[in-house]
């Protein structure tokens, strides 16, 4: 039976993540928001600490890499594993700063992609790499299946050609997980992901984007021109299974969407915590024992925001718990991403409004959190795409039947 309370064995990890967020990320949050594209060198020491904990086995899921579904028998008993630990620790880190969390070395979304679909040999070979993930293209919008980047087999190599945009950590990472089609005529089933090491001829970082939020995180445009990649760098199986369709590629999203949802949960909680303090300083008491309509309007609104936040948090934990227990979670992953993404934006912007001029100014971090949270409702699939996926799952319709 699922239990959405924080597992006892994860509490020490979550407390450590919170301490790091409070003492290391918060103090430099504004600095790197202003210094867009400057690399946060303070993160190197933190990344080394996480690597050490992971290697010692003392910190299961201490970052985005701990999301692989293992071979545990689903009937062997309830398991609270790396997925649940990851979403909770990532939420705590984003309570400190979302952009800095996305900038953590060796904790990129590409690492989650590798953990999701790589075979055992690839997991060992790519251990320690810092991988960003390149999916979006200029003409495809949110439809990942509409990508035009191609991968053509040539002997023991694949030749990649195409352009990717909005690649998080695209300039700083060691490698990039690139989604490309082996054969466009076969549709979604031919889409595979490849690990391309930085410095590979034909791969070029064209520019860095200036953004509304998460400015500490670099977001790149990368082109691939006759870029040759070893065949063994294709993640998972090279076979094209038309019957399986897009399932192999979507397995990545089933693991990364709960992570993005947890980022929204963490950022929103930061805004709620600070807003509560500001309201109390203004003499507004939030009383959970009284009906909302008998309290100050600001207190009533705050309680509503908290309840929405809690729904997003529980959906996120459910999706991660299901992954730990090897249960299909495509529906739940999209529900978590849709709810948490929308709630994150609503909560942070509403907190700016509740705090008035203090919320709108740089006196506090509220205005920054409202900017940072918006991307969490967009990347890894927009709100509209998530709702479309949810509708397909609920109604039992294919992508061709419900567009």
pLDDT (tens digit, 9 = 90+) per residue, 110-167? 988 898 888 999 999 999 899 999 999 998 876 777 889 999 999 999 999 999 999 9
3-state secondary structure of 166: strand
Is the per-residue pLDDT at 47 higher than 90? no
What are 182-231's pLDDT values in tens digits?
Answer: 998 888 889 999 999 999 999 999 999 999 999 999 999 999 999 999 99
Give, for 131, the enclosing helix (H) or strand (E): strand 131-134
Q: Does domain 247-395 have CATH number 1.20.140.10?
A: yes
pLDDT band at 61 (very low <50, low <70, confident <90, very high): very low
pLDDT in tens, 165-192: 999 999 999 999 999 999 988 888 899 9
Question: DSSP string spanning 74-125?
Answer: GGG-----HHHHHHHHHHHHHHH-HHHHHT-TT-SHHHHHHHHH--HHHHHH
Domain boundaries 131-233, corresponding CATH code: 2.40.110.10
- The third-level CATH classification (topology) of the domain covering 8-125 is Butyryl-Coa Dehydrogenase, subunit A; domain 1 (1.10.540)
Domain ranges of the chain: 8-125, 131-233, 247-395
Residue 209 among the catalytic residues: no
Residue 55's pLDDT band (cuts 50, 70, 90): low
Q: What is the pTM of this model?
A: 0.92
Average pLDDT score over residue span 19-30:
96
Query: What is the torsion angle, in degrees rounded to the nearest 10, for the CA atoms of residue 389, residue 390, residue 396 and residue 401?
Result: -40
Q: What is the mean pLDDT of residues 291-301?
A: 94
Residue 210, classed as helix, strand or coil, is: coil
pLDDT at residue 251, as a whole number: 74
DSSP string, 219-230: EEEEEEEEEEEE
Q: Judge whether residue 69 has pLDDT over 70.
A: no
CA–CA distance, 387 with 381 (Å, rounded to integer): 10
With a CB cutoff of 8 Å and minimum separation 6, the contacts of 290 are none
Q: Which is catalytic among the residues 92, 364, 367, 380?
A: 380
């Amino acid at each position: 039976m699922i239990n959405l309370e924080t597992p006892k064995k994860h509490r020490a990890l979550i407390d450590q993540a919170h301490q790091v967020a409070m003492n290391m990320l918060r103090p430099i949050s504004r600095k790197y928001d202003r210094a867009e594209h400057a690399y946060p060198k303070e993160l190197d020491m933190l990344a080394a600490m996480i690597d050490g904990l992971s290697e010692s086995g003392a910190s299961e899921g201490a970052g985005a890499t701990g999301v692989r579904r293992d071979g545990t028998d689903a009937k062997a008993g309830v398991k609270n594993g790396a997925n649940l630990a990851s979403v909770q620790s990532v939420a705590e880190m984003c309570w400190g700063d979302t952009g800095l969390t996305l900038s953590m070395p060796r904790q990129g979304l590409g690492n989650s992609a590798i953990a999701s679909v790589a075979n055992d040999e690839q997991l060992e070979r790519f251990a320690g790499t810092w991988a960003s993930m390149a999916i979006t293209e200029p003409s495809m919008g949110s439809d990942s299946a509409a990508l035009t980047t191609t991968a053509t087999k040539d002997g023991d190599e694949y030749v990649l050609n195409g352009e990717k945009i909005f690649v998080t950590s695209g300039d700083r990472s060691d490698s990039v997980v690139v989604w490309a089609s082996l054969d466009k005529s076969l549709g979604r089933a031919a889409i595979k992901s490849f690990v391309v090491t930085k410095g590979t001829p034909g791969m070029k970082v064209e520019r860095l984007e200036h953004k509304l939020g998460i400015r500490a995180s670099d977001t790149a445009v990368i082109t691939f021109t006759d870029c040759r990649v070893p065949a063994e760098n294709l993640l998972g199986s090279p076979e094209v299974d038309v019957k399986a369709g897009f399932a192999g590629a979507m397995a990545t999203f089933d693991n990364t969407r709960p992570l993005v949802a947890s980022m929204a949960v963490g950022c929103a909680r930061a805004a709620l915590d600070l807003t509560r303090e500001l309201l109390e300083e203004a003499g507004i008491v939030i009383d959970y024992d009284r009906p909302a309509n008998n309290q100050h309007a600001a207190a009533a609104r705050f309680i509503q925001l908290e309840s929405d936040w809690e729904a997003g948090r529980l959906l996120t934990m459910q999706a991660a718990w299901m992954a730990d227990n090897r249960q299909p979670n495509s529906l739940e992953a999209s529900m978590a991403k849709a709810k948490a993404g929308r709630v994150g934006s609503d909560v942070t912007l509403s907190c700016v409004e509740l705090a008035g001029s203090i919320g709108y100014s740089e006196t506090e971090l509220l205005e920054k959190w409202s900017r940072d949270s918006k991307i969490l409702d967009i990347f890894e699939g927009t709100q509209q795409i998530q709702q479309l996926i949810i509708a397909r799952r609920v109604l039992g319709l294919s992508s061709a039947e419900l567009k």
